[in-house]
Amino acid sequence: MQDLEVSKYLDKYSIRGIDLIWKPDNKITSAVVIPAIQEYENIKTVLLSLIKNESKYFTNTLFIFVINNIPSSNMFVKEDNKRSINLLNNIIYKCPGDNFINNILDSGLKIGFIDAASQDKELSEKEGGVGLARKIGLDAAINIFNYNEKKRKKILICLDADCTVKANYLTEIHMAFKEREVKAASIYFEHTLTSSENDNAAIICYEIFLRYYIMCLRYAGSYYAFHTIGSSMACDHEIYIKTEGMNKKKAAEDFYFLEKISKHTKIENINTTAVYPSKRNSWRVPFGTGQRITRFHANTHKEYLLYDPYIFEVLKKWLNLFHSGDILNTKEYLRYARLICKGLFEFLVQQNFTSNFEAIYKSSKSELQIRKQQLRWFDGFRTLKLIHFLRDNYFPNISMFEALDILFVKINIPLPVRGNKNVPDLKIQLQYLEKLRILDRKL
């Protein structure tokens, strides 16, 4: 029996004419949604990774692949997607096959898929992409959950086909949602390294960039200091429908999804397990891991740069002013902002701070409401815009390892010994990354 609020959401926001191929049962209370485009081999890899998890979670979990492309996708993409659909069909309908299929069947894993790749079923040229693929899968999941099962939270988990996961992946996610009463989460991730030094250099550089940014936000006391990695996020069905579900963006869908959710509930960290995303070059999205790896290898940008840590000192002072003590009027906020940093003042003026806050004051009936509106106005997106404004106009990016040294001193972390090299050897770079990973796992 479907929940009333879910029915309202699906009537208003879901995509019509989408069929979930699976063997229906009434036990499903969680789903792992996996978009896939030209991922035949990786589908095998991620499934072999998933079957290493505790099998008791397989009874109530459906793994939903969204096999997708657009009409203009090339023939290699479409042929690969056909193979993926055939493979998943063989698993769902228990057709005996090779050792791989037999292993999946023996595991008890419950699999479903959505065909958004065959003729007349393809995603539209205008909207087709990872955001729409995730949305289709997540909406399909909440449509088939057993809402009569009151003891189990209905959990939506996002993963990608080019990932693997730790053997306690399902265990730790379910424990977090049950025992910690988590409503939305960012799951710990690590890119795996290989024997290729060139590939390792690219991913170490990119992962340092990701972790440095979040660590600096945490140092500044930002409420929005969480990773937004599409393959490493989860939420319960209630917060999903409350925030009107996944967006259709072709890139950065993960950032906007968690950003939207964070205005309704805290994004918690699940750091006791891990997702291992691919570090491959990729054409699938215009930015993100694949794009950054491609860019690194092309040597078109100065990669070993990070935001100047002083930007986060400005942010820290602003957040301390804005979210603590007495609520000030707009003129006072702007006066103090100018004292903190001229660039901060200019940014707030550019963002129409005065008119926005006059409206907030007028519409709020209590101090608590004003505080909530403050948090929503200066959100993760506006935080990033401030950082970019200060970078572009006042504090340019600086050397990556100089920035890391400054951050580590601020948070009392011993520095790796890098000598006088602006870009140290890969072994030293990895030491920096490991320190950031350790910090991430502790938070």
Per-domain residue ranges of the chain: 4-212+224-279, 310-393, 397-442
β-pairing verdict for 110-116 and 61-68: parallel
157-166, 284-293, 341-350, 389-398: lowest mean pLDDT where? 284-293
Among the listed residues 241, 268, 273, the one whose alpha carbon sits nearest the alpha carbon of residue 185: 268
Q: Quick one: pLDDT at residue 420?
A: 82
pLDDT higher at 292 or 178: 178
Q: Give the max Cα distance, the chain.
A: 73
Q: Quick one: pLDDT at residue 96?
A: 80
Helices 197-220/310-323 angle, 10° precision = 30
Give domain 4-212+224-279's CATH architecture: Alpha-Beta Complex (3.90)
Arithmetic mean of pLDDT, 379-388: 97
Whether pLDDT at 309 is above 50: yes
Whether pLDDT at 188 is above 50: yes
Phi-psi label, residue 221: left if phi above 0, alpha if psi -120 to 50, beta otherwise:
left
Residue 101 structure tokens: 């299929």
13-17, 141-145, 226-230, 234-238: lowest mean pLDDT where? 13-17
For 45-71, the pLDDT digits (tens) are 999 999 999 999 999 999 999 999 999
Mean confidence (pLDDT) of the chain: 93
Arithmetic mean of pLDDT, 421-433: 94
Arithmetic mean of pLDDT, 204-212: 96
Arithmetic mean of pLDDT, 237-250: 96
d(CA 159, CA 166): 13
In the chain, the percentage of residues whose pLDDT exceeds 70 is 95
Model confidence, pTM: 0.94
Q: Quick one: pLDDT at residue 278?
A: 81
Whether pLDDT at 287 is above 60: no
Arithmetic mean of pLDDT, 100-118: 97
pLDDT higher at 290 or 131: 131
CA 365 to chain centre: 34
Whether pLDDT at 338 is above 90: yes
Q: Quick one: pLDDT at residue 283?
A: 41
Q: Quick one: pLDDT at residue 3?
A: 80
Arithmetic mean of pLDDT, 115-125: 96
pLDDT higher at 27 or 291: 27
Whether pLDDT at 406 is above 50: yes
Q: Which residues of 325-341 are buried (b: 16+ CB within 10 A; e: fewer)?
A: eeeeebeebbebbeebb
| Residue-by-residue DSSP string for 270-297 | EEEEEEE------SSSSSSHHHHHHHHH
Whether pLDDT at 286 is above 50: no
